[in-house]
Chains A and B, each alone.
Chain A
Amino acid sequence: MKNIYTLSLLTFREALSKKIFLFFFSVSTFVIVVFALLFVFISPESFGNGFISSTPTSFDNSIANGIKIFIVFPLYAGGLFISIFSVSSFIPSLLEKGNIDLILSKPVSRDQVILGKFFGGIAMVFVNIFYAIFFLWLLIGLKFSVWDPYFLLSTFTITLAFTSLYAVIILLGIITRSSMLPMVVSYLTFFIFSPILSSRDTLLTFVNNEFISGIFSILYYLVPQTSDLSTLNTDLAVGNYVSSIIPVFTSLAYIILIISSSIFIFRKKDY
């Protein structure tokens, strides 16, 4: 555990030094400041009657929910976009000749090296996402007196979605030692493959072919389910009924599988 902690800490420090953390933090701060200014300067009347009330009414709730959607969806997409960019160089820089030799010459197992990088990256993203979500939650609460704890759960759904993509970045990073390929694959997954596969039931109504239907179903479980997590994230944030938390479990299983595969491959490689 000590080794994983040390390696995680170094990963965090790497993010700090490469200004990745600072960039992420600045973007989060910018979003918080923009909303703070919006809440301060936009007149309550522009939202309609009942805005100024000291106790939450259904009207306040509906305005607050509208704002939450306005916050959560871009935060999910933007947060993941920046996160993927931030961590894509972690594995290639770890595997650089002269660096990996030194690390592997220490009493550290190869599993610990990968897990250290994994948890370090997650911690870096979690801290930033939590920072943004927490302060936005605080602003909404102060403005509308709506203190919905479920909104804070967005931190976990966004981090979970990031983690499933980060697992793929680690796997591809170990195989290719490149930062570009894992980054491109992650963006394609997030912006194209996952949304398509998530809406496969609708799409397949136009294609009456069992083979294609089977392929889509297989691909759905091979690709991180970031679109389903996005839906879950929005539902949680606005307090909608959450019909299924299966994406959480399938994503966790997916992450475990991909990280285990990464460790398996890393254990066998010469450096």
Chain B
Amino acid sequence: MNAIEVDQLTKIYQGGRSKVEVTALDNFSLSVSKGEIFGLLGPNGAGKTTLIKTLLGIVFPTTGSATILGSDISNYKIKNRIGFLPENHRFPNYLTAEQTLKYFSQLGGNTTKNIDKRIDELLLLVRMSKWKKMKVSKYSKGMMQRLGLAQAMMNNPELIFLDEPTDGVDPIGRKEIRDILIDLKNNGTTIFLNSHLLSEVELISDRVAIMNSGKLLRVGSVEELTTSKEAYIIETTNSIDNDFVNAKYANADTSLENITVNLESSTKLSVNVKDNIELNIVIDSLRKNGINIKSISIQKNSLEELFVSLITDERGGTK
């Protein structure tokens, strides 16, 4: 059983007076396995927050269905096994950190007498013990995020949704939050992470999905997504110049017409091919021209490069 199963989910917001409909989710399907950190990426307005809100019953789907922890999303009782940190959350500003955690823990169905102990543990974990008795109205953005994270973890949830958890947090704080998330994962918690900070998602996610305009564009492990099977880097011992590359590969040669070769440096070529046969054609061609090959490696793109490329293609524009 997966932690999250989304099947053909569509959410259309009806426009108010403007009567303009906005499709926030468009036949969106996705699975998240138990115990993984799943990163959802997308530009602003891609539908990331709508997806989380739909899964949590804050927003109702127009069509489609979804389950979390094996239960239909319409069953609100399942939420006692779920934690959530919304983007730009607001805690009642008249409560202290301690009171906030107690209140949300009680709403989360926690009736145990160990609440106080758990509050102390979590405030220590998110480095907020010092401000336990301070009203949240006096907190900075970073402190609010830390408290929000503690709130999401309060009832030992099996699944945690985090919407922009490091928003407003300094680099040290971000590192601490990443470490906490990795610890949670190691303890078997599933984490669904919404963020537009690609580098952060790349660092901790087991799998990543990229969405835009309510549609799922790509999903897979960071390794799978950033590895381009058709692109290679060939390093040579001899120097090559542009004239050589243009003469050999820019002009139409029937056997090389699907191949793109670019000079990265005087001893480095990037090659885009369809398959291994074409790669070997390039190697043969180089060798025939007296160029010695030092190494061949699969070219890797950063997640950011992939993201930009996918979103740009989706928008039909230029980078």
Contact = CB atoms under 8 A, between A and B. Distances in A.
A10 B86 contact: no
B90 A98 contact: yes
Interface string A3-31: 10011001001101110000000000000
Nearest to A7: B107
Interface stretch (A74-82, A106-114, A228-236, A247-255): A106-114
Given A10-B103, A107-B109, A271-B58, A102 B88 contact: no
Interface stretch (B76-84, B121-129, B237-245): B76-84
B76 A102 contact: no
A102 B86 contact: yes
Q: Which of A2, A100, A105 has the most CB of B within 10 A?
A: A105
The dominant DSSP class at the A interface is: helix
Interface string B76-112: 1111101010111111111100000001101111010
Interface in A90-147: 96-109
Contacts of B88: 97-98
B70 interface: no
A14 B111 CA distance: 22
B75 to A, nearest CB: 9
A103 B58 CA distance: 9
A270 interface: yes
Q: Which of A10, A101, A103 has the most CB of B within 10 A?
A: A101
Nearest to B11: A270
A14 B107 contact: no
Q: Which of B56, B59, B77, B90 has the most CB of A within 10 A?
A: B90
B96 to A, nearest CB: 11
B188 interface: no
A14 B108 CA distance: 19
B162 to A, nearest CB: 12
Nearest to B90: A98
A109 B89 contact: no
Contact of B90 (A13, A97, A104, A271): A97
B249 interface: no
Nearest to A94: B92
Nearest to A110: B76
B112 to A, nearest CB: 13
B53 interface: yes
Contacts, number: 83
A105 B58 contact: yes
B220 interface: no
B92 A10 contact: yes
Contacts of A105: 56, 58, 79, 82, 84, 86, 161
Nearest to B80: A107
Nearest to A101: B86
Contacts of B106: 2, 6
A192 B186 CA distance: 65
A100 B87 CA distance: 12
B111 A104 contact: no
A9 to B, nearest CB: 8
The dominant DSSP class at the B interface is: loop
B237 to A, nearest CB: 60
B131 interface: no
Interface in B227-274: none
Contacts of A14: 92, 94
A36 to B, nearest CB: 32
A107 B13 contact: no
B45 interface: no
A96 B90 contact: yes
Contact of B60 (A10, A17, A268): A268
Given A6-B103, A7-B107, A107 B76 contact: yes
A20 to B, nearest CB: 11
A16 B82 CA distance: 31
Contacts of B57: 104
Nearest to A105: B84
B58 A98 contact: no
Given A107-B79, A108-B76, A98 B92 contact: no
B13 A270 contact: yes
B76 A101 contact: no
A108 B60 CA distance: 16
B76 A270 contact: no
Contacts of B56: 101, 104-105
A103 B90 CA distance: 10
Given A3-B107, A107-B77, A268-B60, A102 B84 contact: yes
A96 B76 CA distance: 21
A207 to B, nearest CB: 38
B79 A13 contact: no
27 contacts: A2-B106, A7-B107, A13-B92, A14-B92, A16-B94, A17-B92, A18-B94, A97-B90, A98-B89, A98-B90, A100-B58, A101-B86, A102-B84, A102-B86, A102-B89, A102-B151, A103-B107, A105-B161, A106-B79, A106-B108, A106-B109, A107-B77, A107-B78, A268-B60, A270-B53, A270-B58, A270-B60
7 smallest A-B Cβ distances: which pairs? A17-B94, A98-B90, A105-B84, A106-B107, A101-B86, A107-B80, A107-B79
Given A6-B106, A99-B92, A102-B84, 13 more contacts: A13-B92, A99-B89, A101-B56, A101-B86, A102-B91, A102-B104, A104-B56, A106-B80, A107-B108, A108-B76, A108-B107, A109-B76, A270-B60
